[in-house]
Structure 1
Amino acid sequence: MSTLDAVPATYSFPASFDNERLSEDFVEYLRALRRHLHRNPEIGFEEYATSRLVRAHLESHGLKVSGPHAKTGLYVDIDGEHSGPHIGFRCDLDALLLQDAKHVAYASRNTGVAHACGHDVHTAVGIGVALNLHQLRHRLRGRVRILFQPNEEGNPSGSIPMIEAGVCEPLEALYCVHVDPTLDVGQFGIPEGQVTASSDRLRVEVTAPSTGHSARPHNLKDTVWIATQLLNQYYQFIGRVTDPRNPAVFTVCVLEAGLAHNVIPAKVSFEGTLRSLNDNDRVFLVSYMQRAADNFAQLHGVKIELINRGGLPAVVNDPKLCQIVRTCVHHLFGKDASLDICVPSMGAEDFANYLLHVPGMLIRVGTRGSTATGYPLHDALFDVDERALSHSVRLMTRVLMYHTESAFSKKTEQASTEDV
């Protein structure tokens, strides 16, 4: 895997700084950062060069960076010159095990690894927001912590060791953004309530006493047939044993069987994800799958093991934080720029783990500006309209500033009321 060579130069802010209108030089700096990260993606818990780049750019402006946490994770605190709440902004660092198929100058140089979920954008935005807030610290109330988390895509999630390191213990609220190619650049999705499904990574292993000849499946245990019959059962019972009005989906993405065309293997396995918008269904479906596996094992005389490799709860946005974001979007981009998203995604996000400890808000950032930037997440051709970089930096700087200001105003108002 290549190192992050030709690192973009750090940015020097002008004497007069205005977050409302980022300078062309700063916009170009963000673009160079993002393209550099896109060319040099790293998979979860191996984002060493990416982590070094983040640290270098923050420390070059006098910021003190804490870490590494969770192998490659970092955070930086921007302390305001006035008292106020402690809030945070979380970004993710890792790329996907996927071959980049784009024909652009900044396509991935690392074979089989690509930033096809926009984490290069998230990282560049995190750096930009940190530098912006540092410039505005004379106006900032309280403290803002910018988290750079490893391994959002992997299992176990990088959010868990970050949380165990205590990164969110002092926080009263936590925000994050995620690129969204279904929204036009300049649009922001603001989902109130549930944002994503829960997700469980499940693996099934079917094991027989021995291999056998493909001509005589009746003389042995045909593990391929048994496994595919069980897989079909799993695909069919959602909406039959659960309320069909509650969305859920089980999808297998890995199948492992034999190596020879005429040998029935002794072991077959398949692996995928179970996703649900209903917590009761989530628990019930996993238990139902276990019962089905046990019944199939008894019926066919084989060993079947259902392995739950862990999962994620649903992301649920805090309504008060949604209102803060909506207000800031309207101020910066106009009322038409905010979209109320009423239907949750069946995807999952490990940002949900933080929300077990602190109220939070996930914002969807539109990145579609043409056919080339309209491919879905995790597509080999995925790309973004880079105007989303400056839009996101401006928005999140404003959101974090506004949150601390409004929290201070409410406390002042409450104190005045108590005095009366």
Structure 2
Amino acid sequence: MTGLNETHDPARKSWVDGANDPNSDFPIQNLPFGVFSLEGGPVHIGVAIGTRILDLTVLEEEGLIVPADHRVFDQGVLNPFMALPQNVWTRTRRQIADILDEANALSRAELNLVHRALVPMAAARMHLPIFVRSFTDFYASREHATNVGTMFRDPDNALMPNWLHIPIGYNGRATTVVVSDTDIHRPNGQLKGPNDAEPRFGPCQKLDIELELGAIVGTPNPLGQPVTAEEAYASIFGYVLLNDWSARDIQTWEYQPLGPFQSKAFATSISPWVVTREALEPFRKDAPERVKPLLPYLQETSPNNFDIEMVVELVPDGGKSSVISKTNYKYMYYSSALQMVHHASSGCAMETGDLLGSGTISGPTQDSFGSMLELSWNGRDPLKVDGGTRTFLEDGDTININGWCDGDYRIGFGNCAGKVLPAVNFRG
């Protein structure tokens, strides 16, 4: 179920506070899903609208919204709703938009219920929105892969021979995916410098970020059953901002021959609001021009990238924010749909709640690179931040990632943030 419908109408307005502010991330055309609680209260599911959260758990309990013949908004994660047929996602989105549309008249009883179900966003604590069934991280930005290959290999052969033919990825850790504003401890690991005879164990010295977009699978495919690009695109329920924290010095020692392990397993942050695939429909973009033709199973017949502006800010402990990167998701060589196609091509069963990380999103200019490894060129070119410089992250630094689409209205993702805490003292 793809395409534009009345929920994308730029003329629609909502009566909820802040929803019609052109700078708001959450107009009536967005309606992202999240999981929240109020102080001392239970965990509920809601959608963001203006400065408020519409509590879907309450509306479902009262019968104003009925997505299925069983309750799906009472389990503290979005998985039960995402597991419903795709036409139910669309129907429920329309029902929510109609409830919040200033042009639609609700009965007095319905209006009282909706007012009771609207809670201040500022008073809510956000939780991980999904049960992450599994997490796969890809390496899908040509610019990023070229930068890294240039840095550590021959610049004339920066891309590995397979890169232009296949979405490269690895299976990560679902158990360490955390919601925005969760503090991240600097990881410990084995470290070995180029002149060291033997490795040592200690805190990472090159802690980095990876600016990514995460795609969340809603519709599964059975074991042994591949999917087309069109099917994969429609199977994705929504998207989140994602920071796949990386320990570059631990990675350098461990990644051969099987790839990243502990250097990526300690934390992955995602934004709390899941922006639905349907909300992003007006912002679809074609992939960059192919350097080499892709094999037939990876052919796309429609634009599956999105025009999403992305900004990374670094805030030193007690300091002011500095923008260190501005880029756009439209540069990605392999879309999330193609990543899912390749993932399932072997017969791998994709499940509701699977999270696919896009890989670091880097643009064509230095200020659009999506990692500090690239921004500082592995420490050669320190970045200016408030009160000093950075090559990699220091304890106390906070990373804020924001993303949004701009057009007739703004579709925002909210904030994906995390603060670096010192490494935990390990006594082995």
Q: TM-score range by the shorter chain?
A: under 0.3
Q: Normalized against structure 2, the TM-score is what?
A: 0.25
Q: Normalized against structure 1, the TM-score is what?
A: 0.26
Q: Which structure dedicates a bigger proportion of its chain to helix? A: 1
Select the structure of larger CA radius of gyration. 1
